[in-house]
Amino acid sequence: MRKLTRRTFVQWAATAPLAREVLGSQKREEEKRLLFVGTQTIHGSGSRGIYAYHWDPEGGELQAAGLAAESENPTFLAVDPDAKYLYAANELERFEGQASGAVSAFAVDRATAKLKPINQVLALGTGTCHVAVDHLGRAAFCANYAGGSASSFVITYNGQITDPVSHFQYRGHGPNPSRQEAPHAHRVTVSPDNRFLLVNDLGLDCIHIYHLNDANAKLTANNPAQWNATPGFGPRALRFHPNGRFAYCVHELVSKVEVLEWDRDNGTLKSLQKVSLIPEDYHGETTGADIVLTRSGHFAYAANRDYDCLVSFEVARDGRLTMLARGSCGGKVPRHLTLDPTERWVLVANEQSDRITVFARDEKTGKVAETGKDFPIPKPQCLVWA
């Protein structure tokens, strides 16, 4: 097999940006997949860290495998491309006596459904709420919500993460005095070709954009250095379309999805469409949460909190969204959602209901069932497959 170099990766990724995920899925399609769940462990939640489940795609059933690893407030998880290692964002105010959150590395033991600790490092910012890994498994990144900053790390040959090699502290505020009194980095997203890192900043109403050197995880500001959202929108989550031409940003403070055209040569974004997740006549409290797309790119699913719903969309060739249905998310405060590897099911982490809800999905029409199956777990925050 030809050695994968940066040049060959970029050429390959330009035509099939998510091919590694498809190949990885096919490779393990017949296996009993593991679902790891990050949870909230503070405020008397009863949780002790990261939990594992065996997945049955035939019936859409989760079988609890117990505590995979004790970890303090691991509210978001990510796995490397081969699912050998798992990384957790530890959403802390202090770590090892310093005002900082942390990022933890674990080795995945598939036979026992356990996670073996490798190491843990300072995130250089408080409230570390998101973690991501690049498409080659060489670099990791985190967003520090309370600290208003982002950091990058090298991943070594054995899955260990180094101390931060790049760190960016943001400054300023947005127009919403209760939610945008300071910067709030919320999501770190690697571009499909592995050349850029995008950082959603809920507090500053922007997405910071960096060039990524995947050999050393170093980040340098792009020109222009950011895309600016509508003031007061609060960009929270971001997902790329499988074709690499579009990105979908969930704005937390207004419960909208914005369709963005991605210029992969210049690392820039352009707004194409804004779609509401809630009915026009609803005026209560509401916050957008997350969005996922199918591997074909034909359908998308978004979750909204407070007005607790799961919204299904058809995706046109030009990236624009058409709503198919809006229904129950199966509980309260849907924090995260994912498609199972077969894409026959949508799983929702309903934080305040202490449950994961599994909905059947029609692969032809894109619609999901009106009701789902519930699996109890304290304060689920994030769902990842291995």
- Taking only the tens place, the pLDDT of each residue in 11-23 is 545 545 454 554 5
Whether the CB-CB separation of 117 and 99 falls below 8 Å is answered with no
pLDDT of residue 32: 72
Whether the CB-CB separation of 186 and 236 falls below 8 Å is answered with yes
Instruction: Tell me how far apart the alpha carbons of residues 150 and 50 are, in angstroms, rounded to a whole number.
Output: 23
Residue linked to tokens 């792009």: 222
Instruction: Tell me how far apart the alpha carbons of residues 233 and 255 are, in angstroms, rounded to a whole number.
Output: 8
The tokens describing 326, both together, are: 């809006």
Flag residues of the chain having pLDDT under 70: 1-31
Backbone angles phi, psi at 261, to 5 degrees: -85, 130
The tokens describing 195, both together, are: 């050349």
pLDDT of residue 14: 52
The tokens describing 239, both together, are: 């997902």
pLDDT of residue 173: 98
Instruction: Identify any residues that bridge with 189 across adjacent strands, giving them in sequence order.
Output: 198
Nearest Cα residue to 290 out of 173, 151, 379, 189: 189
pLDDT of residue 1: 38
pLDDT of residue 21: 52
Nearest Cα residue to 325 out of 297, 295, 300: 300
Whether the CB-CB separation of 171 and 206 falls below 8 Å is answered with no
pLDDT of residue 5: 52
- Predicted model pTM: 0.92
pLDDT of residue 118: 98
Between vectors from CA 184 to CA 167 and to CA 380, what angle results, nearest 5°? 105
Instruction: Tell me how far apart the alpha carbons of residues 255 and 285 are, in angstroms, rounded to a whole number.
Output: 10
pLDDT of residue 151: 98
Q: What is the CA radius of gyration of the chain?
A: 19
Backbone angles phi, psi at 20, to 5 degrees: -65, -35
